[in-house]
Structure formats: structure tokens, C-alpha cells
Amino acid sequence: DTPEYPVELPNEILHNILIWLHPADLPEVSLVCRRFYFLIKENQRLCEDIYRLRLDAPPENAPIWDWEAELRDIVRLDEIFHTSRGNYVEKDVSNMQKFLVPLSQQPNSTGSDMSQAHRLPFVYKTVNRLLKHASLNGRSRDEGEESQRPVSRNVEYLSGLFEKNEVATRVFTQQSPLFDRINSRFEGSVTPFPEPLEKHQQSAKLHCLYGRPAQQGGRTRSTTTYPWACSKVYDIREYSHLNGWGPFRKDGSGRVDWEKVEAINILMWKNISTMCPRTDIFDEIWDTPFFGSFANSYVPTNLPTLSDLDAQDPYGVTGTYYRVVCFLDHSDFIRFNFSNMGIVTDNIPRPPLDRGEATRLILMDLEVTRIGAPGPGDGLDLPVVHFKGVSRSFDSDFVEDVHSTLTGSVRLTQEGEVKWSSVSAFDGQERWRSEGVQVGGVKSARGVVGTWFDSDYDIHGPVGPTVFWKAADCKNPREALLKGASEMIMQPEWLEGVVVTFEGESEDDDDDDDNDEDWDADLDPIEDELPGLLEDAEMDLDDVTTRAMGNT
């Protein structure tokens, strides 16, 4: 006989109906009758099917063991961002948690009870877990040829949450001291370095994973973040043997300093977006929320023919990379770090810096040379991969300029992050080192964010930021650059050239300084230092020497 009521349907049919419910509706449906209650309660298979219908199937190396808990956290995350459905209310979250896990086991778990301090750790852990479980299982829903590339439904879900609620996005991605400094500016105070707190690192990492660096900050969002990020990145006190001169914490633990990575991202996106406005090869990486911020998100379009070494390389090193290097005019760098301007005592950050930087685009071709076992200070889950390569810089007309060779290695840190180290040589002489962390993990498309510095670890610098990411193998990297150049060459922003001066102090601001004679003495070594510095940035020596002398 045909069932007269839904409750009379077989379990298999009811299961296939229930999987189409929004997770927040499960508690309400379970209260309809006894049969629904026992069909839904503690049904891991039902929760798994509901999850898989909406989100990525987790990769084999990151399985999900508690599907009920995953659904509960998704409901809570939805509630915090208030974007999932128009009729979504707080009681749905409370009911879901009471149904899945006794409230006594979930202190401060409901959306209405969670204070602001409790919400950041939850959002941080849940976003990181969703990215850990992300995989490229589907195709983009957008139309067009580019939509044929695989996408992650977890990333699409997170992008929707963060894009639809700008206020919540700012709350969770702007809690690092960099934004506290911007806010304190309006209070007329100069505060010492804050006590290191894990919430600062969590917020900064969320900002980095989100992938769209904030260009405005402060309570009124009227202040540009660039000068404050620039101040942190170029402060020579941020570099020491304790953090390996890279984006790592100064306690010697080897853990990533996400506050430093955040500052580099803000600085680099400002420079890139000014140098190469609205160029596809940059926009996808730098202006697309959560793009490539998870492991194995770089997927080649064409299956490459792998050498024996490449087949053993878990990091996918071999290939072509876009790299961007930025640096201050050397006179500005010396003035900022070693003059009497402004402050500085050891416990107080340097003032915001808005002098403008040189920005250089480089193509790197890397190949694996050998693979070894991890050392005592490395993560033990993956080997250490060594590589060599050639870098080719491009001048302002995107014509190949200076070439250099480089060697380096990729390894896991003890906390499981991917660390890249390299040394650049010119005419066989080592000149610059670089340390970076791969945002998103192994084989992430997001790429590597880090620092460059003198190969001898000179405590007087120079130092600066650098980023690089793997070029899509479906395109010729050089042709992609030329295409981008032809599209933007007539844009007003490009007419300034690759040396970008941002709004702020003019180059003549210091003409009347009382300390000009002292500056002349400080700058005596510049002529000797500039050639080496410019070899890395491949800038025209005459132009920069003229500018450097003009600044004095």
C-alpha cells in the first residue's frame, strides 16, 4: 500500500529526503514525532550525507570522524556571520547544539552566549578545519572558459560568509596589534609593543588565509594600513637569529609569525595593485577570498612528465613562479632605522612609514636537485627537498633584464607549516637570502610570503618583503606578463613606472631638517651599497642614485 503519511515511508527514502534539509532544521524535524527523533538522533551517516551534499569530500589525509560536530560548528559559524538564510534565528543554533551535544558539555557554545573573546578562537578553528578538509571536487559555478577549472565548495562557502558580512570579516581579521596601532593614532598615544597573545596570531592568520589584505583600517576605516605595515616590515629589529630573519616568531620556537606575514601581505598588495592594476595573474591570487589557501590547491592543467626526483617531491617544487620583490630606497631605510627621527626606544614600535618603495617582478624557474631526511628542528612528516634555479627580472617595459641563480630548500616546520629558504647569487657570489612560509600548506596555490636580506645577515640591512607563487601551467608565464602589460600600459597608475611613491611624505619633506649634515655623514657608504642592492631589484642605477642623493 502507498503510505499515507511521510512517517510511514521506509527509512531509506526518509534518509534521502532529510539530507536536503538545512542542518539547522534537523532539531525541529526531530521533534515532529518519535520516529523522526530516533531516525535523526546520533545518525552519523545522515550528518555525513548532509555535509557532503553541501561541502567538499575531505581528503584522505584529513578525514572527519565526527560528522555531527562538523554540522554543529557550521550552524554556529552561519549564525555568527548571519548570512546563511533570511529566516535564520539564534534559537536554531541553540536547538542544534542541545540536540547534538548536551549543553553541559558545551560551555559558552551558543551564539547568544559567546562573548567576542570566545568567538575568535571558534571562528579561527572552524575556518582552519574547513580549509584543512577542502578539496577540489567540483567546477566553478561561474560561466566562461575559466570556469572549467576545479574549485572547492568549502572555499566557496567561506567566501560567501566573509563577503556578505563586511563587519564580521573586519572583526575577526583585524584584531592584530597593527590595527590597534591604527586605532591608537586617533587617541594621540604611542604604545609599547603589546604582550604577545594567541588571539593576535589567530586574527592575523585568518586575515592571511582570507587573502584580501585590508587597505583601510581604524574605527572609521579612513586610515590606510600601508604605512603601519611598512613600519613593521622594514624595522630591522624584527630580524634576528631567533626568527631566522624570516616571518617567524622572535621567541626562537620556529613558529610562524602571522602578524609579520599579515604586514607583508598588506604592503605587497598595495605595491602590486599600484604597479599592475587589475591584472589577471595578480588579481586571482591577491583579490579573491580564500583562493588557494589550502593544501594541494595548485593543480596542473596538464599532467607533467615527472622525473624520479619530482615523483618523490611532496611539495611540487619544479616549475615556473611569479615573484615580486620590494625594497626601500637605501637612504630611506637607513634614515628609518638608524636616525634620531621620531622615537625610538627598544620597547616602542617605529612610527608609520610612507616613503614609497621600488617594486620588481621576477620569473623563477626551479627544479629539484636532491631529497633528504628532515633534521632535528624540522617537521618529521615530510622530507626536505633541495632545489636550484634561475631568476629573470623584468624592467618597467617587461623586457628581461638581469639574471641570477639561486639554490634553496623546502621543509616542514615542527608545527606543520611549509618553510621555503633560498640564496640568490650574482656572478657566482651569494648576495641575498630569503625565508618564507607557504600560506595554506603543501602545494597551495596561494604561494609563499616572506622576507629577503643580506646573505651575511648584516644587522644594518637592507631587508625587505618578497612573495612568489606558482604560475599556471596552461599559460606561458612571460606571455601572460606581456598580455597584462598591454592591458594596463595606458592606465594612469602605470605612468608612474615601477617605482611607486604613495600618498604621504613627499621626497622634499626633509629639506629643512636640522639634521641634514648628520644625514650626509650617514649616507657616505650608500654609493658602495647601492650596486649590490640594485642587483637584487634590477633597477636603473643612475635613476635611483639621483633619487637617493635628492632625498638627502
Question: How far, in Å, CA of 459 to CA of 125, rounded?
Answer: 37
Whether the CA torsion 229, 234, 235, 238 is positive or negative: it is positive
Residues 41 and 73 sit within 8 Å (Cβ to Cβ): no
Phi and psi, residue 323, nearest 5°: -130, 140
Q: Which of 318, 317, 315 shows the shortest CA–CA distance to 381?
A: 315
DSSP annotation of 24 reads G
Q: Which amino acid is at 357?
A: E
CA distances from 448 to 146, 201, 254, 306, 451 (A): 24, 18, 16, 23, 10
Predicted confidence pLDDT, tens digits, the chain (552 residues): 666 777 778 889 999 999 999 998 888 888 888 888 889 988 999 999 999 999 999 988 889 999 999 999 999 999 898 743 433 334 444 444 444 333 223 344 444 334 554 789 999 999 999 999 999 875 544 444 444 467 899 999 999 999 988 888 998 999 999 998 887 765 555 677 888 899 999 999 999 999 999 888 766 656 889 999 999 999 999 999 999 999 999 999 999 999 999 999 999 999 988 877 667 788 888 889 999 999 999 988 777 788 899 999 999 999 999 999 999 999 999 999 988 655 567 788 888 999 889 998 899 999 999 999 999 999 999 999 999 999 988 754 555 566 899 999 999 999 999 999 999 999 889 999 999 999 999 999 999 999 999 999 999 999 999 999 998 766 666 676 666 655 554 444 444 443 333 333 433 444 444 443 333 333 343 334 434 443 444 444 344 334 444 444
pLDDT of residue 345: 74
- Residues facing residue 419 across a β-bridge: 411, 437
CA-atom Rg of the chain in angstroms: 26
* Per-residue model confidence as pLDDT tens digits over 25-40: 888 888 888 888 889 9
| Nearest partner of 267 among 195, 356, 330, judged by Cα | 356
| Residues with Cβ within 8 Å of residue 332, at least 6 apart in sequence | 353, 355, 551
Chain segment 501-519, per-residue pLDDT in tens: 333 343 344 444 444 333 3
